[in-house]
Structure 1
Amino acid sequence: MSSFAHSVGSRTYQFRDLKDLMAKASPARSGDYLAGLAAASVEERVAAQMALAELPLTVFLNQLLVPYEDDEVSRLIIDEHDKVAFARIAHLTVGDFRNWLLGDAVDELVLAAVAPGVTPEMAAAVSKIMRIQDLILVAKKCRVVTRFRNTIGLAGRMSTRLQPNHPTDDASGIAASVLDGLLYGSGDAVIGINPATDNVPQVVRIVSMLDEIIARYGIPTQSCVLTHVTNTIAAIERGAPVDLVFQSIAGTEAANASFGINLALLDESRQAALSLGRGTVGDNVMYFETGQGSALSANAHHGVDQQTCEVRAYAVARKFKPLLVNSVVGFIGPEYLYDGKQIIRAGLEDHFCAKLLGLPMGCDVCYTNHAEADQNDMDILLTLLGTAGCTFVMGIPGSDDIMLNYQTTSFHDALYARRVLGLQPAPEFAAWLKEMEIFTRDDYVTLGTALPPAFHNALLRLA
């Protein structure tokens, strides 16, 4: 690989290769310091960003950060790169690409046409030289629409994952949280549970319970048990009513191996879910979660900075046409994103890069209890992501996940974002909320003052 250099004032900074340049250009975050990759000073970071801005986009097709022969994610990125889509931006440098993205002539149709020609490394590179307002403005222009039992990602909409986790997988506790979430208008992205007991019989039990709730009340949404993909395949083979296949993914083959997956296994799971034909308005059957730091925590980052590794995971997601993708942005901990400032920046980077690549990107706006962050930081990130057109966020009782022991966004947080930003749920779900008398006006943010009649019996059963 070529070396790079750039001067700031009287000093010239040298970067040994493209990996080093990308890492040094990254805004400061604890994971890159932990890995020994970060810039040693603000001046060195500025020099790296200036050198990166002058780099032609074509360099990323010729100088791979992770060798082609060593990594199936690299092979996927190169083998499926759309040269026709790329032709429109092939003459640009990274800095020119930023200016092009911000231009008024580039709208959602142009961005959708170019997306297959943008590699993860190009997206990561341009994000490193963008301000927060740049990340918001461009992401807002990206429109990615997916469908299963409803339509997610339309303009003026923000969906929510209803996350009724329970520390013992108690059926009544789960049902109570589902009811609570529905009464706040949550759940149009998915009703998704992290099981406390992760085995195939438990997956079958929970997914069957959720299917019964969705069918009983005619809810135009989908369910998912966030278990390992092999458990979901086994549940499908046992006849379980699986809607979506979930899997955590990462940006290198080695990191994915630490999750016990590869591209072939993900393809097998997608084909299994498609064979059930459970979608009513579409066939996007995959749900992926990502997060900056996963490759580093698995010692599988190949010397690549954590944000670029994260964006490489989006190439994996894009391959399988998911209904939903989200970054669990602050979940891995302060070793990777130290404080609220780093979490906010990372969440907006992840959303921007994924949308630029054509993914239906949401975000788990969250932090662990030992991070230097609080709910005010999460309010800021939630509001910024809503402004940026984030596809979906999480909804959980009281914003406190008592099973996973971290802080995220609550049902009322999502309702706040919809109210203040003038956003609505997915159209099919919004119509159901009005029909069920959960919302009382066509704005879909004005809650009824009494328990809707349809839920009276449900409340009695829970009591």
Structure 2
Amino acid sequence: MQLATTLFGTRYQFRDIKDLLAKSNEEKSGDQLAGVAAESAAERMAARFVLAEVTLETLRANPAVPYEEDEVTRVIDDAVNEAVYAEIKGMQVGELREWLLADTTTEAMIQRLSNGLTAEMVAAVTKLMSNMDLMLAASKIKVVKHANNTIGLRGTLGSRCQPNNQTDSVEGIRAAVYEGLSYGSGDSVIGINPSDDSLGSVSRLLEMTHEIITRWQIPTQNCLLAHVSTQMEAMRKGAPVGLVFQSLAGSQKGNESFGIDVAMLDEANALAKRYSVVTGPNFMYFETGQGAELSADAHHGADQVVMEARCYGLAKRYDPFQLNTVVGFIGPEYLYDSTQITRAGLEDHFMGKLTGISMGADVCYTNHARSTQNELENLAVLLGAAGVNYIMGIPMGDDSMLSYQSSSFHDAPSLRQLLGLRPLPEFEAWMEDLGLLRDGRLTEKAGDASFFLSR
């Protein structure tokens, strides 16, 4: 296999498929830190010229981590629909890009083809796309799932109500939940990152959020973003667990750094089907983010986009209700500034949707990154136009427990108004019944958390 080309009189030779994929990637500080990035824009373009002519069959034969060494690789490869793969294996990456963007390519066609793809194929075509290409291709794909309500329908935008608290104060979190609900945040999930991962604290917050959902008959679900093992124990002891959460990595070694493996995730999914208080059939919630594997020295010399695509390939095994990339949360060591954060957000959303995942985004940045609130809002608008399933809702857009900047309770309603979108349908009907929403717009009652204390 000749992985070389001459561009403007300079010969560029790439060591192997992993090297070619890495050199094709848009500039990322994490790839530079890992020593896998292209050394110049010219080398990056040369890599893309070569990558465009690589076949999907070649990519399947060259995963980022060998099949026999990594259970994530095995999960992804074993799930390939061989009949679909046989039809497309001779297609070049450049041809796949053109096919995805063609006006004649329908959503149903893309969803069928995705069953024959591996993560490396998904990552490869992503590297040949501009930001607008990523938005256009992703907008063609709707991934619809159901727990207590329905996420992903065309024309809708969900919002996770994220009422984190530094001390896990039950009453403090309750007040934040009420405020979020009054703005229409929480239709995708009421999801809390606990500061205390103990079974007692997690169970207390599960009980409180379940009580709110039950009392107000809210068509949504709760989730405590504790380690999956804690949630499993909570389910066994009868706590009202809605969605079951876990952060994922794109390699076995990366997942081991999170204290998980495929067997544990399989068990958690089985427990959720038995004990979860949501109706399903989709019970799982995952988070990912470019750079997680490098931070754990578990990237195996692969670039961030490839490892992120492998997270989605693993997640697909569990048919999750939702997954979001925490796109700027890991820090500027991996995504240096707003340009890189924006690119990664659009990449992740497209790759998740192409894989078949109900995909959202935590449009965020840490305080030491070169980004601003305005730039964060720009990405939110781009993702909304691309058809993202949900974003975060955080009091004032400033997470007091995790100390990072994200989207606020106000942002999902603003995007819905700007882009002609609606809340998830069951939740919209609930808001209409309470007088918080009228004809898709918030009413004068919206934003006043005391509404929930007056009844």
Q: Same fold (TM over 0.5)?
A: yes
Q: Could you say which residue in structure 2 is the equivalent of 1:242? A: 241
SS in 2 for 1:117: coil
Shift of 1:390: 0.2
Q: Which residue of the partner structure matches residue 390 of structure 1?
A: 388
Rounded to whole Å, the distance in 1 between the matches of 2:288 and 2:61 is 26
Q: 2: distance between equivalents of 1:158 and 1:362?
A: 9
Partner of 1:328: 326
Partners in 2 of 1:390 and 1:302 — Cα distance?
A: 30
For residue 230 of structure 1, give the secondary structure of its aligned residue in structure 2: helix
The amino acid that maps onto 1:411 is: F
Residue of structure 2 aligned with 1:450, choices 435, 445, 453: 445
For residue 146 of structure 1, what is the aligned residue in structure 2? 145
What is the CA distance between 1:106 and its match in structure 2?
Answer: 1.2
Which digits, 9 at most, give the CA deviation of each residue in 1:6-55, with x for residues without a partner? 11111110100001000000000000000000000000000001100011
CA shift digits 1:304-330 (9 cap, x unpaired): 001110110111100001001000000
Aligned counterparts, 1:221-236, within 5 A: 221-236=220-235
Contact 2:445 2:451 in 1 (8 A): no
Change in 2 beyond 3 A, CA 1:329/1:456? closer
Does the CA contact (< 8 Å) of 2:179 and 2:448 recur in 1?
no
Where 1:95 maps in the other structure, the secondary structure is helix
- Contact (CA 8 Å) 2:220, 2:427: kept in 1 or not? yes
User: Structure 1 residue 459: deviation in Å?
Assistant: 5.7
Contact kept in structure 2, 1:329 and 1:346, CA below 8 Å: yes
Which secondary structure does the structure 1 equivalent of 2:391 belong to? Answer: strand
Matched AA of 2:244: V
Closer/same/farther in 2, CA of residues 237 and 277 from structure 1, 3 Å limit? closer
Mean alpha-carbon deviation: is it higher for 174-183 or for 83-92? Answer: 83-92
Distance in 1, Cα, partners of 2:105 & 2:173: 45
Deviations 1:341-380 (A, max 9, x none): 0000000000001100100000000000000001111111
Cα deviation code 1:107-147 (max 9, x no counterpart): 11111111111111111000001001100001000010000
Relative to structure 1, the CA distance from residue 457 to residue 220 in structure 2 (aligned partners, 3 Å threshold; closer, same or farther) is closer
Match of 1:120 in 2: 119
Q: CA deviation at 1:85?
A: 2.3
Alpha-carbon contact 2:160-2:189 (below 8 Å) kept: yes
Give the whole-Å Cα distance in 2 for the aligned partners of 1:95 and 1:305. 20
Contact 2:60 2:121 in 1 (8 A): no
Instruction: Indicate the residue corresponding to 2:281 in structure 1.
Output: 283
Per-residue Cα deviation, 1:244-280 (whole angstroms, up to 9, x for no partner): 1100001000000000000110010011111025333
| Mapped contact 2:157–2:421 kept (Cα < 8 A) | yes
What is the alpha-carbon distance in structure 1 between the residues aligned to residue 449 and residue 325 of structure 2?
35
**Distance change (3 Å), C-alpha of 1:356 and 1:453:** closer
Structure 1 residue 87 displacement after superposition = 3.6
CA distance in 1, matches of 2:378, 2:339: 10
TM-score (norm 2): 0.98
User: Could you say what secondary structure the match of 1:134 adopts?
Assistant: helix
Aligned letter for 2:334? Y
2:129 partner amino acid: M
- Distance of 2:449 and 2:139 partners within structure 1: 37
1:32-51 maps to which residues of 2 (within 5 A)?
32-51=31-50
Separation (CA, whole Å) in 1 of partners of 2:162 and 2:42: 43
Report the 3-state secondary structure (helix = DSSP H, G, I; strand = E; otherwise coil) of the residue aligned with 1:411: coil
Sort the Cα spacing of 1:343 and 1:215 in 2 relative to 1 into closer, same or farther, 3 A. Answer: same
Deviation at 1:104, TM superposition (A): 1.5
Note if contact 2:179-2:449 (Cα within 8 Å) is conserved in structure 1.
Answer: no
Q: Which amino acid aligns with 1:386?
A: G
Q: State the match for 1:375 in structure 2.
A: 373
Partner of 2:71: 72
Residues of 1 paired with 2:2 and 2:350: CA distance? 28
Partner AA of 1:186 in structure 2: S
Deviation (angstroms), 1:453? 11
Structure 2: any 5+ residue segments left out of the alignment?
none
2:303, 2:336 → 1: CA distance? 15
Partner-residue secondary structure (3-state), 1:198 = coil
Cα 1:192–1:457 change in 2 (3 A) is closer
**In structure 2, the residue corresponding to 1:111 is in which secondary structure?**
helix
Greater shift, 311-320 or 54-63, is seen at 54-63
The 1:10/1:187 distance shift into structure 2, 3 A limit, reads same
CA contact (8 A) 2:235 2:276 kept: no
Moved over 6 A (4+): 451-454
Let me know the Cα RMSD of the aligned residues: 1.4
